[in-house]
Structures are given as structure tokens and as C-alpha cells.
């Protein structure tokens, strides 16, 4: 104990001079005297000389729940655990177990399929994905088609005989906006040596989006009514009723 702290401890009985603390003075005096007789204190120089090593002890000490390196949890047996609440170690263990179980489930449910072959191109390599992607999501697709039909009916209720100019203009602006953004993304990707889309040949990528947008308003084409809204039905692929059109 440093000297100034020792002096403060010796003065402690004199500090207990209030009505509430005065009964404690004789007990405090007795304890200090007993410690002095037992030579319990190891007196160090004053604190301004920094006799302690380290000079300043930390106010708080953080004890990690995990050991360094291997990441294994080090259980703190002395820390009380609140009832009904999992500890940090329990939460991390539960999340780790869930991740491992998910990885095993993904490994068990892989699905490999052969993409369609594009004319004048080599046979594409098989694609491995999840079993849930092996069949189209029918419910989501039907909901999308229903909402798309409602939108087109509101924009162009009498298509193709009489069209609302405002509805047709709104569709054109939306189509061109999407095409412009995809062109910008494609340019930035090319500048970084990457490619956007194209894995499925003419069925994917920017060129198909551009063709689908260009089909809007052209009767007889898949995307004649909605442009990009007809991608699900095959707009922009370049085929109509089995006959190739729009090939460069």
C-alpha cells in the first residue's frame, strides 16, 4: 500500500463523525490496530513517485468468453447466470450449430441441371444449385403474373385497339430507365474486367433486355405490350412462334 493511501486509512475513524457512522468508529479503530500489530501492511513510497507496477492499475478488467486462437468458449464458472436467459457462450454455440446444420442440409439437397444449348454455341457446362431452384416457384410466379396483368390493364385497358397515351409513355419511361441503369452497370463491370450476365447466351444479359425493351409497341412480338414486363414469357429472346427474328 502506498504511503498516502495508508495515511488516509489511519484517518478513517476521524471521518466517521456523523450520527449515522459514529457507532462504527470503535470497530474501525480496532481493525486498523489489529492489522498494524500483525504487520499486515507493506508500505510503498507516495503515489506521486509511481511505486506500483504497472503505474496505474486498470479500473476494469475485461475477461473474454473465448480463448485466443481456437475460438473455443472458455466458461466463466464464477460469473452468476441469470435464469431464463442464455449466456453469450450458449448463443454463439447455438448459432454455430445452426450454421453447421444448414451447410449439411445444403450439401444433401444440391441439384445439378443442364442449361439449354444456344444455337451455334458449344454445349454449356452443367450448373449445380439447390433443389428448391430445380422447379419454377409456381406461387410466386402466379402472383407476379396476376399483379402484372392488373397493372397493364390499368395502363392500357383497351390494348391493342386503343391505348392510353399516358400509360404507354409510363411503360416506355420505365423500360428505358431500366435499360439505362443496366448499361451503366455493364460499362462499370467491363472497366473492372468483369461480365454481367451472358451465362445463358442470348437468354440472359444486357442484349436481351435491350431487345425486350425494343419490342414494346410492336404487334406480334412477345414484349409488344409491356416490354421488359414480358421477360418471363420470353421477350427479348429473339424468337416468335418458333421463328427467329431480330437476329443481327
**44 near 2, Cβ under 8 Å?**
yes
H or E stretch at 107: helix 88-108
- What is the distance between the alpha carbons of residues 225 and 163, in angstroms, rounded to a whole number? 10
pLDDT number for residue 175 = 92
| 8-state DSSP, 61 | -
Sign of CA dihedral 145, 149, 155, 161: positive
Specify the higher pLDDT residue, 63 or 145. Answer: 145
User: Domain boundaries in the chain?
Assistant: 3-49, 101-134, 136-238
Name which of 2-16, 67-81, 154-168 the model is least confident about.
67-81
pTM over 0.85: no
List pLDDT tens digits, range 25-72. 999 999 999 999 998 888 888 888 878 777 766 555 556 555 444 444
| 8-state DSSP, 246 | S
**226 near 216, Cβ under 8 Å?**
yes
Mean pLDDT of 113-126: 69
pLDDT number for residue 179 = 92
List pLDDT tens digits, range 158-198. 887 766 678 888 889 999 999 999 888 888 888 877 766 65
Amino acid at each position: 500500500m502506498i504511503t498516502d493511501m495508508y495515511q488516509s486509512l489511519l484517518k478513517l475513524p476521524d471521518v466517521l463523525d456523523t450520527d449515522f457512522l459514529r457507532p462504527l468508529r470503535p470497530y474501525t479503530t480496532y481493525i486498523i490496530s489489529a492489522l498494524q500489530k500483525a504487520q499486515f501492511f507493506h508500505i510503498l513510497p507516495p503515489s506521486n513517485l509511481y511505486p506500483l507496477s504497472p503505474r496505474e492499475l486498470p479500473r476494469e478488467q475485461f475477461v473474454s468468453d473465448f480463448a485466443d486462437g481456437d475460438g473455443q468458449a472458455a466458461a466463466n464458472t464464477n460469473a452468476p447466470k441469470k435464469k431464463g436467459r442464455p449466456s453469450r457462450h450458449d448463443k454463439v454455440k447455438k448459432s454455430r450449430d445452426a450454421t453447421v446444420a444448414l451447410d449439411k442440409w445444403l450439401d444433401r439437397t444440391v441439384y445439378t441441371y443442364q442449361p439449354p444449348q444456344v444455337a451455334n454455341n458449344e454445349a454449356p457446362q452443367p450448373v449445380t444449385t439447390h433443389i428448391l431452384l430445380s422447379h419454377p416457384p409456381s406461387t410466386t410466379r402466379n402472383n407476379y403474373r396476376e399483379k402484372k396483368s392488373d397493372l397493364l390493364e390499368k395502363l392500357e385497358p383497351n390494348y391493342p385497339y386503343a391505348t392510353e397515351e399516358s400509360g404507354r409513355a409510363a411503360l416506355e419511361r420505365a423500360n428505358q430507365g431500366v435499360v439505362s441503369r443496366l448499361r451503366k452497370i455493364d460499362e462499370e463491370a467491363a472497366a473492372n474486367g468483369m461480365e454481367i450476365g451472358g451465362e445463358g447466351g442470348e437468354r440472359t444479359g444486357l442484349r436481351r433486355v435491350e431487345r425486350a425493351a425494343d419490342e414494346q409497341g410492336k404487334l406480334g412480338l412477345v414484349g409488344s405490350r409491356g416490354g421488359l414486363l414480358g421477360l418471363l414469357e420470353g421477350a427479348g429472346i429473339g424468337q416468335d412462334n418458333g421463328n427467329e427474328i431480330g437476329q443481327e
